[in-house]
Amino acid sequence: MENLLKKCRQVVEQIYNQFDASHDFAHIERVLKNAEEILHKEQTANQDVVRLAVLLHDIDDAKYKTDGQLTAADILRSIGALDDLSQQVLACIESVSFSGGNAKELTSIEGAIVRDADRLDAIGAIGIARTFAFGGARGRRLYDTSEMVRGHMSEVEYRGKETASVTHFYEKLLLLKELMVTVEGKRMAEQRHDYMVGFLKQLEKEIGLE
């Protein structure tokens, strides 16, 4: 299995490092670290499924998909993963996306670990940095005090409007703490969430909203 993970890592690193800094291979490495911390507590989970799913979880992200790019399924086949393992990994990946709060139902502890590990990297100090890195790459405004924060929305609505970066905190990032599934994920999210709240309060002061 170590050889399988090594092969997968080599393939995906080249792909992710073509993405902007919010979703590059450094993001994958941080999510792996988060997943390892959760796995330490969730010892009944299949570690190999979790690790492969983390390595592959953003490969098919519609924000970065290009014609001819390898899919997660392609990569699993190319490295020699057996069908049963591949299906478990792909099922984990399907449940990761936030999609405006329309994430697919979790079907395994492995999926829960991968989702929590990824969402942890979307909050806290690194979440703040990634939000503005993504916004900068897409030419988005830092903030827009006139912009209305949307509530529950379809995936199409969520992805269809390019909101200011600060609006993204209210439409997604501040919601993630309550959406954590694993006990360890919930614990890890607490401090990161509080850090974001403090950042937004300071930002309001500096732009004259408080």
Q: How far from chain centre, in Å, is Cα 83?
A: 25
* Residue 189: how many other CB atoms lie within 10 Å: 22
Give, for all 210 residues of the chain, the pLDDT tens digit: 788 999 999 999 999 999 999 999 999 999 999 999 999 999 899 999 999 999 999 999 988 888 888 999 999 999 999 999 999 999 999 988 776 555 678 889 999 999 999 999 999 999 999 999 999 999 999 999 888 887 776 666 666 678 899 999 999 999 999 999 999 999 999 999 999 999 999 999 999 876
**Residue 92 and residue 53 in contact, taking contact as beta carbons nearer than 8 Å:** yes
User: What is the number of H-type helices and E-type strands within the chain?
Assistant: 10, 0
Sign of CA dihedral 159, 163, 164, 167: negative
Under 8 Å between Cβ of 154 and 178: no
Angle at which helix 47-56 crosses helix 109-120, to 10 degrees, equals: 40
Average pLDDT, the chain: 92
Of 57, 178, 188, nearest to 110 (Cα)?
57
Q: In this predicted model, what pLDDT tens digit does every residue of 76-113 receive, in sequence order?
A: 999 999 999 999 999 999 988 776 555 678 889 999 99
Q: Running DSSP on this structure, what letter comes out for residue 180? A: -
- Reported in sequence order, the residue ranges of the chain that DSSP labels E, i.e. its strands, are none
Two structure tokens written together for 37: 């911390």
The C-alpha atoms of residue 15 and residue 116 are separated, in whole angstroms, by: 23
Q: What is the pTM of this model?
A: 0.91
- Determine the structural domain holding residue 196 and report its residue range: 2-206
Helix segments in 161-182, DSSP class H: 165-171
CATH of the domain at 54: 1.10.3210.50
Please state, in angstroms and rounded to a whole number, the distance separating the CA atoms of residues 94 and 3. Answer: 24
Taking the CA atoms of the chain, what radius of gyration do you get in angstroms? 17
How many domains, in total, are found in the chain? 1
- In angstroms, the CA 153 to CA 144 distance is 20
Residue 15, pLDDT score: 95
